[in-house]
């Protein structure tokens, strides 16, 4: 299957610092990528939809000024958690939407391995 990478895989930071997470589609171009967050024993919750070359679309309740998304190329989207606080500690997962034609006749989403963020 297609490969999506995330970096870093885990990060521990002090409260008030900013953390950048990268999501890369390694073997296909992704016009659309998604950022999810998962708290312990909870389901994945969509935070935002990242579109290459345009502003991200944020879900209700997600602060766009706190979670900055940049999708500067067809293979890279970044999520920056600004002024992180302990309540931002979570598992952040990206997914990339692979269009039909490359191994499949329909769109498929592929997930990155996730980034575990711990804010002290």
Partner 1 sequence: RKEVEQDPGPFNVPEGATVAFNCTYSNSASQSFFWYRQDCRKEPKLLMSVYSSGNEDGRFTAQLNRASQYISLLIRDSKLSDSATYLCVVNPADSGYALNFGKGTSLLVTP
Contact residues: partner 1, CB under 8 A: 1, 32, 34, 36, 41-46, 49, 91, 93, 95, 97, 107-109, 111-114, 116
Please check whether residue 55 is in contact with residue 71, taking contact to mean a CB–CB distance below 8 angstroms. Answer: no
Q: Nearer Cβ to partner 1, position 49 or 89? A: 49
Distance CA 46, CA 109 (A): 13
Measured from the CB atom, the residue of 81 and 112 that comes closer to partner 1 is 112
CB of 41 to partner 1, least distance (A): 8
How many helices and strands, by DSSP H and E, does the chain display? Answer: 0, 11
The SS3 of residue 25 is strand
Q: How far is the CB of 87 from partner 1 (least distance, A)?
A: 20
Smallest separation (angstroms) from partner 1 to the CB of 120: 19
Paired residues of 97 in beta bridges = 109
């Amino acid at each position: 299957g297609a490969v999506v990478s995330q970096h870093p895989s885990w990060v521990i930071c002090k409260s008030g610092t900013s953390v950048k997470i990268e999501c890369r589609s390694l073997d296909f171009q992704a016009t659309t990528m998604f950022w999810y967050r998962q708290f312990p024993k909870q389901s994945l919750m969509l935070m935002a939809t990242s579109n290459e070359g345009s502003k991200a679309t944020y879900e209700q309740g997600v602060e766009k000024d706190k979670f900055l998304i940049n999708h500067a190329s067809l293979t890279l989207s970044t999520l920056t958690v600004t002024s992180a606080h302990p309540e931002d500690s979570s598992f952040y997962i990206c997914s990339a939407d692979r269009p039909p034609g490359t191994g499949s006749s329909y769109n498929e989403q592929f997930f990155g391995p996730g980034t575990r963020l711990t804010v002290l």
